[in-house]
Structure 1
Amino acid sequence: MNRLIITNGDMAAERIQTLQPEVTVLPWRDVLHDGPLGDFDRLQDQSIHRAAFIAEFADMAPEDVVRDFEHRDQVFLQAGSYERVELWFEQDLYDQLQLLQIIDAACKQLPDTSLYVVQADTYLCELPDMEFAALPSHARLLSKAQKDYAVKAWAAVVSEDWPFADQVEAPLPYVPSALKRLQGERQDFPLSLYYASRPLLEGPMKVKEMFRAMQAAEEAKFMGDLSFYHLLKGYLAAPDPLFKSAYQDGMDYMDFFNLDVSLTDKGTEALKAFSVSL
């Protein structure tokens, strides 16, 4: 059978390709919880909208980002030529946003293409080999109700309107918790920063220790080290900072993660006030 599998990134794609070398695998390379999102009817327009941000975010040449998005979108828009299209995604915010974007784009641009979804409640690359090999048997055809829900949920993400975050049950079961987590990230004091910095109330830590503390606090880890680097860097470089460190603009990436960080008086007050508000 001529199959296309779309999944969350290169590591999962490589594992799928090793297991099923005859299948076309498309990694969806975009950190949708970071940077601008627009209300577009075409996937290609969203890609153009995000290209400059991703180039700066990932320190890539803009033309390379544009080329990568164009290739991804071309493969996606040819999905109707495959006998079967499967979406393999995990339960965390990173994956659920990608899943919503893909379903929304398919509904708008490939309305006659059937989609099957494989939802894992853990991380694809952490599954034992036997469980990973069994995933194709768990693929389920997306219903109209699921597609309609995904389109509405994606519109909520783009507009930052959050009614879906309070649902107990949903046609796509991991979306409500993902949107609630996104809501926590888009507030004035991001929840990731709170998770990372609350151990500083006990004393200084290195940035890499803050990153590990943040990941350990998440019910479903979604933020990679590059996203955390950009998040924390903005706060370390602020004119009236919450944190004390020896941060210098343009410093080496590895040196950044070895920085020692402590709270300023303002940071201590902000952290305690945020804790009370939770």
Structure 2
Amino acid sequence: MKNLISKEQIEEFHKKGFINVKGVYSDQEVNSINKQFRNHWIQLVQNGEIHAKEDRPLESLFPRMRDYHRKNPVIMKHTLKSEVFDLMKAVIGEEPLVISTSYYFKSPTTRELPLHQDNYAFGVFPGTTYAAWVSLDYTDEQNGGLQFVRGTQEKELEDPEKDPTNVREYFSDKGQEINVPKGSYVENITTNPGDVVIFNGNIIHGSNANVTKDRYRRCLLTHFTGVSVERLALNFNKLVNREGEKVRRRFNNNTKIAEKQGTIFSIKDAGYFDSWR
């Protein structure tokens, strides 16, 4: 972790709820990540598992690709990068565990990701999730960059505007949206390839629509939690430590969503692929 994050930056993270750590991944590593996912994407298209839909042809052609670290050793290596684990340990305060990974193309015409809180669905207890968002392109407000409501990581989990008991509606383009607290504002950030944005699972955040003609906003997102976690709702039996070993915790059937509908659900119930995050 030497030279990657300072005590002042850690304090900034706890004050704001997010921080952009510059240059964690090299250009070679960024290219390697993109190459691995491009190869998987080509295979999925060839197999007919991905195809363009009439209403959103480009967005649907470039969907989210989830948990490929489990099947691809190169992607696993990049996910388990020791510097990233050291960064996460510094901000979490204990050894981290990987919950899941997602790769996003965020192609031109891809919709915004409404403001939401990650741990509403993950159900980590005690504590929350922590995300490491690896920027694989230059990102800004125009091509779908991240946005945060600074300081809201201290807030409790809030119910979204739409009814989360309807799984498909909850994971629709506006299903997770929550309101910005009075007196707060949405802060857009820019990143360069290789930067890692770390953010708390309770912070209100989202991403802009990609309104550019030809700029993708690729990223590799890893959700972590601390080793002291007791229960969680998603991938509770597929956690991974820094050695790549599988770790298990108990299933959390008492999340905010479960309180609403009586039973918990998996993200897969809403469809394995989406692209708008």
Normalising by structure 2, we get a TM-score of: 0.27
Larger radius of gyration: 1
| Highest RCO, 1 vs 2 (Cα 8 Å, sep ≥ 6) | 2
**Could you say which structure has the higher helix fraction?**
1
